[in-house]
Copies of this chain bind each other. A is one copy, B any other.
Amino acid sequence: MTAPILTTKTTALERKTATARVVALLRDQILSGGLPEGLQLRQEKLAAELGVSRVPIREALHQLEAEGLVRQETHKGAVVSGLSIDDLEETYEIRARLETWLLELSIPLLGPQHYARAEEWLARMAADREDEAWSSQNWNFHAALYAPANRPQTLELVRKLYLNAYRHFPLPIRLTGGRDRMNREHQLLLDLCKQGEIERAKDHLEQHILMGARHLINRLKALRQQGKSAN
């Protein structure tokens, strides 16, 4: 096969179907909090804004419904879905359960290249001090440690849980407990891995996840309570 003469045609990215583009865009917007929980997603409006007909919009909404990001009721349309406090807590419990397992499998297989990647993400987190990219970097750090476990389905599942939880915490409370504590915990986790302290590393990771969740959820509870009385 020879190289194409002209690349006047659509770029590689735009070569996806309209439906796929709509899915990607809406998913990003929802997961980043740009489209808040409870928002009505009107097909015609979305179609106009994105410059497509309603057909790709509808196909995208069905896909996002299956992913749990929106909920549809017959003849009433789609709304951005939310998670209850209980749902959030359970999400973190599942993560704790699966991530400690991934870590256990990983530790004996971790090599210099993995540590390098993990430390790179730690450094970026420390550098972008006020950035909102933190949650993505945080995930990449964790994922770097789980990579050698070679459990792609589990990793993908945990990633979805992670991303889907974060959007429910307003930015001001996301870094509760302080970056310093987070950095310390990450560093300790890394050290325990390097020392091959499987059990201690697992315990620490579990605490890291569950305690982080507890802090976040407590502040979210307070916020929601306050929001109610303010109505």
- Please give the residue numbers on chain A whose beta carbons come within 8 Å of chain B beta carbons, in ascending order: 15-17, 19-20, 55, 58-60, 62-67, 74, 87, 90-91, 93-94, 97-98, 101, 151-154, 157
In the assembled complex, the Cα of A74 lies from the Cα of B20 at a distance in Å of: 9
Contact of A93 among B55, B90, B151 (CB under 8 A): B151
**10 examples of A-B residue contacts, CB within 8 angstroms:** A19-B62, A55-B55, A59-B59, A59-B62, A63-B66, A64-B66, A90-B151, A93-B154, A94-B98, A94-B157
Of A15, A62, A66, A74, which is in contact with the most chain B CB atoms at under 10 Å from its CB?
Answer: A62
Q: How many copies does the complex hold?
A: 2
In the assembled complex, the Cα of A162 lies from the Cα of B66 at a distance in Å of: 18
With both beta carbons as reference points, the residue of chain B lying nearest to A97 in the complex is identified as B101
Q: Which B residues are in CB contact (< 8 Å) with A65? A: 63, 66
By Cβ-Cβ distance, the 4 closest A-B pairs, closest first, are A66-B66, A62-B63, A63-B66, A59-B62
In the assembled complex, the Cα of A87 lies from the Cα of B153 at a distance in Å of: 7
A46 to chain B, nearest CB (A): 15
Q: Which B residues are in CB contact (< 8 Å) with A55? A: 55
Q: Which B residues are in CB contact (< 8 Å) with A20? A: 74
A49 to chain B, nearest CB (A): 20
- Judge whether B90 and A153 touch: CB under 8 Å: yes
Q: Which B residues are in CB contact (< 8 Å) with A97? A: 97-98, 101
